[in-house]
Structure 1
Amino acid sequence: MAAAPTPVTRRVLGIVVFNFIGYFCVGLPLAVVPGFVHSTLGYGTVLAGLAVSLQYAATLLSRTVAGRLCDQRGPKVSVLWGFAACALAGAFTVAAVAMSATPALSLALLFCGRLLLGCGESLVTTATIMWGIGAVGAAHTGRVISWNGVTTYGALAVSAPIGVWLGERHGLGALGAVTVLLALVALAGVALRRGVLPVPGERIPARQVLRRMLPFGLCLGLGSVGFGAITAFIALYYADRGWSHAALAMTLLGATFVLTRLVFPNAIHRHGGYRVAMVSLGVEALGLLCLWLAPTPLLAALGAGITGAGFALVFPSLGMEAVRRVTESNRGTALGIYSLFLDLALAITGPLAGAMAVAWNYGAIYLLAAIAALTAAGTSLLLARRAALR
């Protein structure tokens, strides 16, 4: 019989459940938005990719704000603001579908919704980590980050097929309505929970934090290209090959991520962040190469699953090494800046991958992502050697 969760784990789960709801809202329309832009509104693949990547761009631009908000006013305030943005995003999505007979207006409304959802994402996910750390103590930082990641990709794994199923039967507008409902329920839940106070201490300028996070963030960004390529274009890749069940690839991506976090909870503590990052990035590259070369949809989905397993420990392994470079009073800002490199990679991946699909084919997207992951692995090796010399 499985052991019951410890009191610390229960407290962490009681907070990161809000991150699950936030990413459920994020993942629900991911596989449906490109098809709506491309098929319903009649725009090309570049704009279809941009519709996905705008969300990541907004997350990128709001990461530092979310981190500073956590440091100065506490993470609960950030979560409240985040779910308010998610609710507005859902409303804009409903309006975009209602105005689909006017493609330009519909696209503009959809873009507004994607921007709001991106802001909501950063405000919620950064704050749930900081809230969890504040609730159980800095000694449990690794556990909080791990569980937050499990809820992130667990939500994406669950929401992707639900979003496809709802989208096929009721359209993108239904997904927007569900997003509004979930965000309002989450707002009520957050309001009822006890928050934590900001950590006192000197606040160093964001540019100094950025300088310290830069090498780790570059590795994270390169390692995130594969995830962005799968979430933005797996549905169109399958359609281009004449395959069905693209949602299976998205589900395996999230499921293997979660399983890897659960099976190897102490890998970073035992083997060190740099070593785990290098192995993880190598596994991710292998999965992306499988996806690129796959002759059948099942093998393509398997490649996505391998990619998820590799990507699972990239963020916490590099993040553990990164956040050691700042004091506790600046950890929210550090976490936000470190995370924004992931968002920058995802924001760039959509339009770049769309242009590659036009110039070559959809498969070339995953070859590029594999090269990026291998480059990140090499850079992590250099960082490890530099750290060993200190």
Structure 2
Amino acid sequence: MNRATASGAPATASQSGAAPASTLAIASIPLAVLFSFMAIGSVLPVLPVYVKGPIGASDVAVGVVIGAFAITAAIGRPFGGKLADATSRRRVLMIGLVTASIGGAMLFLPLGVAGLVAARLVVGFGDGWIFTSGVSWIVDLTPEERRGQVIGIFGISVWGGISLGSVIGQAIYSAAGFEWVWAFATVAPLVGLLISLRTPTPGPHAPSPSPSEEVASAELGAPLPGAPLPVTSGAPAGGSPPRAAGRLPRLPSSAVRPGVALLFANIGFGTLAGFIVLLLDGEGIGHGAAAFTVFTATVVASRLLLGWLPDRWGARRSALAGGISQAAGIATIGFAASLPVVMVGAVLAGLGIALIFPSLALLVVNATDPSARATAMGWFTSFFDIGVAVGAPFAGLVASTGGGENYSAAFFAAAAVCLAGAFIGYLGTRNQPRTAAVA
């Protein structure tokens, strides 16, 4: 039969109609995630204008509102992963999508900056669960030899959703105002919910992944597809006892310097997400949402076309090149000389971001014992979230100096931080010792 079996296990390749069901699932899960991140992207070009305009708050408030999302996304991931292992991927994905929709609806509440921060925190928690359950679900349904490919597709659905969402959000705002953007941010996750209802339920999980799959999975902030993942009944697979509940694993040394480099890089991303619209509006250039879309589209295109670089060129050199490209792009945007110049900066920044994560993650994988890789990658990913959470408020603080609205200075400061991160990633990982198993 085409659907999952009554026990929850997907039909095997030998069963009639199994292949179409698996193909449908592999396509529908990223599609559901795409809609959730379209909701996230839709508010990015609009929230800074709303905070500065109708609410009349400061640049620091803009940064806090934009960065709040990442805090609960990081917190929500381990909780979502534990629940997904104990119950089902579908249930956690559905809860995450409903939570994200509730967060979108909270934008309607006239509660000022505090209300916006609360809404962003709720959305972040929901999308942390969407991340975790989505990538685990798609791995469950994918043959081992195709896992790296479909995880890459899953990652593209995230950046693609943000890219499409920013275009849609700006178009809705220009045509109908803030409230209709909030409505889109409320409805889009519910479309993903409807898609998830038609997706087959996974069964027992596949064997451990290769290091390249671990790298791809880590970017999504989800439990790695392996080591191995527990079955949906909650029993540990492969006979490995689970880590004691509530116990925080020790930070492996292999994740520290690459993690700090990633944190610095994401301060640049937080600056872009929070202030590119305000910068270009302030300079009379406009089209900030279009520039942000060029940035995210470049990330997607670069991942598709240049994903081989860290393996062939070397992870350290690729991380350095990515960091320099990102810093140059953000500084170029900061000059805000003209729209074409800003677009060149957006392309450079997107190219850099596309290289930085897989390069640094590969350094962590190569310097970590296989038995400790999941822990190392979990910690490494947390630096990603911290960078976003810190980056936007940092940029807002810099922008508020010198009489306020000093957005060019914020971009120049972010570029300097990104450049420092590039050299931390390159120089700090020379002869990095291998991390053994972590208690």
TM-score in same-fold range (> 0.5): yes
CA distance in 1, matches of 2:195, 2:72: 25
Q: Which amino acid aligns with 1:373?
A: C
**Alignment equivalent of 1:195, drawn from 166, 182, 201:** 201
1:39 is displaced (CA, Å) by 0.5
**What number of residue pairs does the alignment pair up?**
376
**Alignment equivalent of 2:264, drawn from 222, 225, 249:** 222
**Alignment equivalent of 1:149, drawn from 141, 148, 155:** 155
CA distance in 1, matches of 2:389, 2:73: 9
1:115-134 alignment, distance < 5 Å: 115-134=121-140
Which moves more between the two structures, 164-173 or 255-264? 164-173
Q: Which amino acid aligns with 1:43?
A: A
The answer as to 2:31 corresponding to 1:17 is: yes
Which moves more between the two structures, 208-217 or 151-160? 208-217
1:40-55 alignment, distance < 5 Å: 40-55=54-69
SS at match of 1:299: helix
Identify if the C-alpha distance between structure 1 residues 213 and 29 changes in structure 2 by more than 3 Å, giving closer, same or farther.
same
1:260 is displaced (CA, Å) by 0.5
Q: Corresponding residue for 1:65?
A: 79
How high is the TM-score relative to the length of structure 1?
0.86
Deviations 1:187-241 (CA, angstroms, capped at 9, x unpaired)? 2222332233443233345322566533332221111111111110011111221
Check the 8 A contact 2:254/2:432 in 1, yes or no.
no
Check the 8 A contact 1:133/1:140 in 2, yes or no.
no
CA distance in 2, matches of 1:253, 1:216: 23
Q: Corresponding residue for 1:275?
A: 317
Q: Corresponding residue for 1:306?
A: 348
The answer as to 2:387 corresponding to 1:381 is: no
CA distance in 1, matches of 2:168, 2:98: 23
SS at match of 1:208: coil
Check the 8 A contact 1:11/1:136 in 2, yes or no.
no
Deviations 1:273-321 (CA, angstroms, capped at 9, x unpaired)? 3332222222111211212234113211220221011101322332344
CA distance in 2, matches of 1:326, 1:80: 35
1:49-198 alignment, distance < 5 Å: 49-94=63-108, 96=109, 99=110, 105-137=111-143, 140-196=146-202, 197=204, 198=229
Which moves more between the two structures, 347-356 or 174-183? 174-183
Identify if the C-alpha distance between structure 1 residues 75 and 269 changes in structure 2 by more than 3 Å, giving closer, same or farther.
farther
Check the 8 A contact 1:142/1:316 in 2, yes or no.
no
1:205-354 alignment, distance < 5 Å: 205-208=247-250, 213-323=255-365, 325=368, 331=374, 335-354=377-396
CA distance in 1, matches of 2:187, 2:300: 26
CA distance in 1, matches of 2:27, 2:376: 23
SS at match of 2:282: helix
Q: Corresponding residue for 2:13?
A: none
RMSD: 2.9
Q: Which amino acid aligns with 2:129?
A: L
Identify if the C-alpha distance between structure 1 residues 78 and 340 changes in structure 2 by more than 3 Å, giving closer, same or farther.
farther
Which moves more between the two structures, 288-297 or 72-81? 72-81
SS at match of 1:207: coil
Q: Which amino acid aligns with 2:163?
A: A
Check the 8 A contact 2:43/2:185 in 1, yes or no.
no
CA distance in 2, matches of 1:139, 1:212: 27
Q: Which amino acid aligns with 2:183?
A: A
Q: Which amino acid aligns with 1:146?
A: G
1:326 is displaced (CA, Å) by 6.7
Q: Corresponding residue for 2:9?
A: none
By relative contact order (CA 8 Å, sep 6+), the higher-ranking structure is: 1
CA distance in 2, matches of 1:64, 1:320: 22
Higher Cα radius of gyration: 2
The answer as to 2:415 corresponding to 1:370 is: yes
SS at match of 1:368: helix
Identify if the C-alpha distance between structure 1 residues 388 and 112 changes in structure 2 by more than 3 Å, giving closer, same or farther.
closer
Q: Which amino acid aligns with 1:135?
A: L
SS at match of 1:136: coil
Check the 8 A contact 1:66/1:336 in 2, yes or no.
no
Check the 8 A contact 1:29/1:172 in 2, yes or no.
no
Check the 8 A contact 1:126/1:335 in 2, yes or no.
no
Q: Which amino acid aligns with 1:263?
A: L
CA distance in 1, matches of 2:316, 2:150: 19
SS at match of 2:43: coil
Check the 8 A contact 1:17/1:151 in 2, yes or no.
yes
SS at match of 1:385: coil
Q: Which amino acid aligns with 2:306?
A: F
Check the 8 A contact 1:203/1:329 in 2, yes or no.
no
Q: Which amino acid aligns with 1:217?
A: G
Q: Corresponding residue for 1:102?
A: none
